[in-house]
């Protein structure tokens, strides 16, 4: 990124010189050989997603392993009585929420490979340190630092990957990426089950080994991640010059070369802050995300309340994550196939609603009945969550629009983590009426925001087809070239 010097304000940031492979207008519309395009997509998939999959899996695992540690003796040694466990969960989200937007501004200025791997190493060390604490204050302090270093991971990954793919190629890849959280959850349960047998080894309890081993794995993997993480398309070491140009051509043909936002100035800030899609997208993610966070933080505890022993509760989280992953991938494939998003969010919300209704009316129902409800809640939530993230990215165009849009969505959406961390009250065990009821209400708040976004974009598409937004083409040339998806030629994905 550079500061423009040709008579412009020094606050105007431009990326134009940063994209040497950008195709000219003359060849943007030239047809692309399907075979060449398929080879490129295969190469992108193999080089981009596997490292990011592992990174986010470890991020998720290190974030939620406190829930596995809780039922392996941590509660007694660190005194997590009352709402102290909820506070330890909640404190993580303060820096996590506050630092996501600044992080996405920073990652645009540096190589993502260096930035993300450095974050990974730092949070791995912090996670290891949790295995050596002896006070509640130390736990809270380390959870705060963990949130600070993990803040830039998800918005950064969404931003970087969205610059490589067409809009209707993005959903199934985003859902595959989100499988990392499910595998992380399943692996965490399996690892916690295995680590439980280390209790007493070297004079340390089992819960301490959970943090030490998982943190050490993360820090070790970060040393390799720096060489494997993909940078921006124009910086990608695994692409030839011709492939870099082809990536740019594909994106230009998908969104229209006119729909760029490569200069950060007052006009760009205005377009970002006034974009109702970004704010609605944040509310969608917030509402739906409460289900996910509540599940990963409290599933081991909930299953323990169903009557299983701690080790059995850990191992029974695995099939829940496996079924959720299958539902998520099938929905992602269908969503990209139909080039449609909203109906799949609606479907996921309805499935989760059935599960919540079952648990809110559990009474003296059997353990299997309640376990089935857990499957429905998690499957429905994981169908909707990655679609909500990809849907907003599908409807943003331009470097800076996507940078701010993804960061704002994840920032506000992660208020769900604060909500999810505080609604399951130990005094309401084992029915957790407040927890299930609040999560259900948040879910439907997210669905209402999704319905509003769907209707508004459907109406806006009609206006653009009718030429009712063509007056925007009368703006000064500098602004016309920096409209992003506000450009009248852009069409929204429903």
Q: Lay out the sheet containing 263-264: strands in order across.
A: 2-3, 13-14, 263-264
Structure tokens at 300: 């081991």
pLDDT bin (cut points 50, 70, 90) of residue 314 is confident
Which of the four pLDDT bands, split at 50, 70 and 90, describes residue 110?
Answer: confident
Task: Name which of 216-220, 248-252, 339-343, 489-493 the model is least confident about.
Answer: 248-252
Q: Residue 132 contacts by C-beta under 8 Å, 6 or more apart in sequence?
A: 208, 212
Express each pLDDT in 290-300 by its tens digit: 998 888 788 88
Helix (H) or strand (E) holding 263: strand 263-264
Calpha distance 320→63 (Å, rounded) = 19
For the segment 37-43, the average pLDDT, to the nearest whole number, is 94
Residues 338-349: tens digit of each pLDDT: 989 999 999 999
Q: Do 168 and 310 meet the contact criterion of CB atoms below 8 Å apart?
A: no
Q: Kindly list the distances between the CA atom of residue 273 and the CA atoms of 28, 209, 326, 400, in Å, as whole numbers in the listed order.
A: 30, 45, 37, 12
Please report the domains of the chain, with CATH numbers, ordered by start residue: 40-251+267-465+474-486 (1.20.1250.20)
Task: Return the pLDDT at 199.
Answer: 66
Instruction: Determine the average pLDDT of the residues in 92-117.
Output: 91
What average pLDDT does the segment 375-388 reach?
A: 95
Most confident range, picked from 187-201, 242-256, 463-477: 463-477
At 350, list the tokens.
């309805």
Q: Taking the complete model, does pTM exceed 0.85, yes or no?
A: no
The residue-averaged pLDDT of 70-96 equals 90
Place of tokens 């857990």: 374
In this prediction, residue 128 has a pLDDT band, given cuts at 50, 70 and 90, of: very high
Q: Please state, rounded to an integer, the average pLDDT across all residues of the chain.
A: 88
- Range 231-237 contact pairs with CB under 8 angstroms and sequence separation of 24 or more: 231/111, 231/112, 231/113, 231/160, 232/18, 232/111, 232/112, 232/160, 232/163, 233/21, 233/163, 233/164, 234/18, 234/19, 234/20, 234/21, 234/22, 235/111, 236/47
Say how many CA atoms lie within 13 Å of 326 toward its Cβ.
7
Phi, psi of 55 (to 5 degrees): -60, -50
Instruction: Tell me the pLDDT tens digit for each residue of 442-453.
Output: 999 999 999 999
Tokens 């594909």 correspond to 250
Q: Tell me if 135 sits within 8 A of 449, measured CB to CB.
A: no
DSSP state of 2: E
pLDDT tens for each residue of 195-227: 877 766 666 888 999 999 999 999 999 999 999
pLDDT at position 201: 67
Q: Which of 26-30, 245-249, 254-258, 423-427 has the lowest mean pLDDT?
A: 26-30
The pLDDT of residue 231:
93
More confident position, 96 or 258: 96
Mean pLDDT score, 122-132? 97
At 71 the pLDDT is 84
Other C-beta atoms closer than 10 Å to the C-beta of 250 total: 21
- Banded pLDDT at 270 (limits 50, 70, 90): very high
**Is the peptide bond prior to 430 cis by the omega test (within 30 degrees of 0)?**
yes
Place of tokens 């920032």: 411
Phi and psi at 381, nearest 5°, equal -65, -40
Over residues 331-358, mean pLDDT: 95
Q: What's the rounded Cα separation, in Å, for the pair 26 and 257?
A: 11
* Residue-wise burial string across 214-228, b where 16 or more C-beta atoms lie within 10 A, e elsewhere: bbebbbebbeebbeb
Which of 136, 65, 63, 86 is CA-nearest to residue 427?
A: 86
pLDDT at res. 162: 86
| CA–CA distance, 320 with 318 (Å, rounded to integer) | 5
Is residue 253 packed enough to be buried (19+ CB in 10 Å), middle (13-18) or exposed (0-12)?
middle
- Once rounded to an integer, what is the mean pLDDT over residues 220-249? 93
Share of the chain above pLDDT 70, in %: 92
- Distance, in Å, from the CA atom of 494 to the CA atom of 489, rounded to the nearest integer, reads 16
Contact present, 73 and 199 (Cβ < 8 Å): yes
pLDDT tens digits for 13-32? 444 433 334 444 445 556 78
Query: What residues form DSSP beta bridges with 2?
Result: 14
Is residue 3 over pLDDT 60? no
């Amino acid at each position: 990124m550079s500061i423009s010097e040709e008579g412009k304000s020094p606050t105007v940031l431009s990326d134009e010189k940063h994209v040497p492979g950008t195709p000219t207008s003359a060849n943007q519309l030239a047809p692309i050989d399907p075979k060449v395009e398929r080879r490129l997509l295969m190469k992108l998939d193999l080089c981009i997603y596997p490292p990011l999959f592992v990174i986010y899996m470890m991020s998720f695992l290190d974030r939620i392993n406190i829930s596995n540690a809780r039922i392996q003796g941590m509660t007694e040694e660190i005194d997590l009585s009352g709402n102290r466990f909820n506070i330890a969960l909640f404190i993580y989200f303060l820096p996590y929420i506050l630092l996501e937007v600044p992080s996405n501004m920073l990652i645009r200025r540096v190589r993502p490979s260096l930035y993300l791997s450095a974050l990974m190493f730092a949070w791995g060390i912090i996670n290891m340190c949790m295995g050596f604490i002896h006070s509640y204050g130390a736990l809270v302090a380390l959870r705060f630092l963990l949130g600070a270093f993990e803040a830039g991971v998800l918005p950064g990954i969404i931003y970087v990957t969205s610059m490589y793919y067409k809009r209707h190629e993005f959903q199934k890849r985003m859902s595959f990426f989100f499988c990392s959280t499910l595998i992380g959850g399943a692996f965490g349960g399996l690892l916690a089950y295995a680590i439980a047998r280390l209790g007493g080894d070297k004079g340390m309890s089992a819960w301490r080994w959970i943090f030490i081993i998982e943190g050490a794995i993360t820090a070790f993997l970060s040393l390799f991640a720096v060489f494997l993480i993909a940078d921006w398309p124009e910086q990608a070491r695994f692409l030839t010059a011709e492939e870099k140009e082809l990536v740019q051509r594909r994106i230009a043909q998908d969104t229209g070369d006119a729909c760029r936002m490569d200069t950060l100035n007052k006009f760009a800030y205005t377009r970002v802050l006034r974009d109702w899609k970004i704010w609605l997208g944040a509310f969608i993610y917030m509402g739906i995300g409460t289900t996910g966070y509540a599940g990963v933080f409290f599933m081991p505890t909930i299953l323990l309340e169903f009557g299983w022993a701690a080790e059995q509760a850990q191992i029974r989280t695995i099939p829940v994550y496996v079924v959720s992953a299958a539902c998520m991938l099938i929905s992602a494939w269908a969503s990209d196939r139909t080039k449609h998003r909203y109906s799949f969010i609606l479907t996921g919300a309805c499935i989760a609603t059935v599960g919540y209704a079952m648990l809110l009316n559990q009474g003296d129902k059997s353990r299997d009945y309640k376990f089935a409800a857990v499957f429905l809640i998690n499957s429905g939530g994981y169908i909707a969550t990655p679609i909500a993230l990809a849907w907003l990215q599908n409807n943003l165009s331009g470097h800076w629009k996507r940078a701010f849009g993804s960061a704002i969505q994840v920032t506000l959406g992660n208020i769900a983590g604060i909500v999810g961390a505080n609604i399951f009250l130990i005094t309401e065990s084992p029915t957790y009426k407040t927890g299930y009821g609040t999560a259900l209400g948040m879910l439907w708040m997210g669905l209402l925001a999704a319905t509003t976004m769907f209707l508004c974009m459907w109406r806006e598409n009609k206006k653009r087809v009718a030429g009712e937004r063509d007056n925007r083409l009368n703006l000064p040339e500098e602004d016309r070239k920096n409209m992003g998806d506000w450009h009248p030629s852009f069409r929204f994905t429903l």
